Amino acid sequence: MSIHIVADPSSIASTVLLPGDPLRARHIAQTYLTDVTQYNEIRGMYGFTGYWQGNRVSVQGTGMGMPSFSIYANELIDSYGAKRLVRVGTCGTMSEKLKLKDILIAQAADTDSAINKSRFGSYQFAPTASFELLNKAYGHAKAAKVGFAVGNVFTSDQFYDMHGEQKKAIARSVGTMAIDMETCELYTLARLKGIEALTLLTVSDSLLTGEQVSPKERQITFNAMVDLALLTLFD
């Protein structure tokens, strides 16, 4: 049994959606799944398992940032046998090609974190999505005619960063499209542990214009992203 997820080993599916906010985990379970059971509430980080169109799937909140995310991803993989992890969250856009309410399909992650330096030393590992999931998400997004882009995300260790503008300029200079705080760790763990992983992010705000999506619009666009995630995993 793991420390932060306390559940029967059979209660968690091999496919898991990973929102940062545990209340979003509950929303996904209540809105999309049938025959739902709650398997975790330790530290208020809710986890649920149910069925989507006959397919067994779990939803686990992870908290914000790579250290918190890493705890839940490691435990899901090592203690509960998770084989496919899909992060569903929000991001801030840095690209004119990625508008408010669009979905970013993250192909790879840049970072300012020292986590991978502590793992790999001077070796500069490039964390990338699982191609099969990425390709399926791209096809379903095109068919659904939703606003989306495929590109890199900058995974930052700091929400309030005194060097944020400098880092944003560097990220934009190499074509990185948005900022989040978890994807680099997801993609790194997936490669280290031999599982499939993908990040889908709804654009909630613009770092270029300062615009933000209203709470009501955020919920609608978040649902579109979850639709895309489930189709990618099970269609």
Q: Where are the domains of the chain?
A: 9-234
Alpha-carbon torsion (119, 78, 192, 151), positive or negative: negative
Q: How high is the pLDDT of residue 219?
A: 67
Q: How confident is the model at residue 164 (pLDDT cuts 50, 70, 90)?
A: confident
- pLDDT tens digit sequence for 86-132: 999 999 999 999 999 999 999 999 999 999 999 999 999 999 999 99
- Per DSSP, the residues of 67-92 read HHHHHHHHHHHHHH---EEEEEEEEE
pTM, to two decimals: 0.96
For residue 138, pLDDT over 70 is answered with yes
CA distances (Å), origin 46, targets 29, 200, 201, 232: 10, 20, 20, 23
- pLDDT tens digit sequence for 179-220: 999 999 999 999 999 999 999 999 999 999 999 988 777 767
Show which residues are catalytic: 205
Q: How high is the pLDDT of residue 54?
A: 98
* DSSP label of 33: -
Residues forming beta bridges with residue 59, ordered by sequence position: 17, 48
Q: How high is the pLDDT of residue 226?
A: 97
Q: Does domain 9-234 have CATH number 3.40.50.1580?
A: yes
Distance CA 120, CA 96 (A): 34
165 Cβ neighbours under 8 A, 6+ residues apart: none
pLDDT above 90: percentage of residues in the chain:
90
Q: Give the least confident one: 35-49, 65-79, 153-167, 214-228.
A: 214-228
Q: How high is the pLDDT of residue 122?
A: 94
- CB-based contact 19:200 (threshold 8 Å): no
For residue 9, pLDDT over 70 is answered with yes
CA distances (Å), origin 231, targets 80, 86, 134, 164, 186: 23, 12, 12, 35, 20
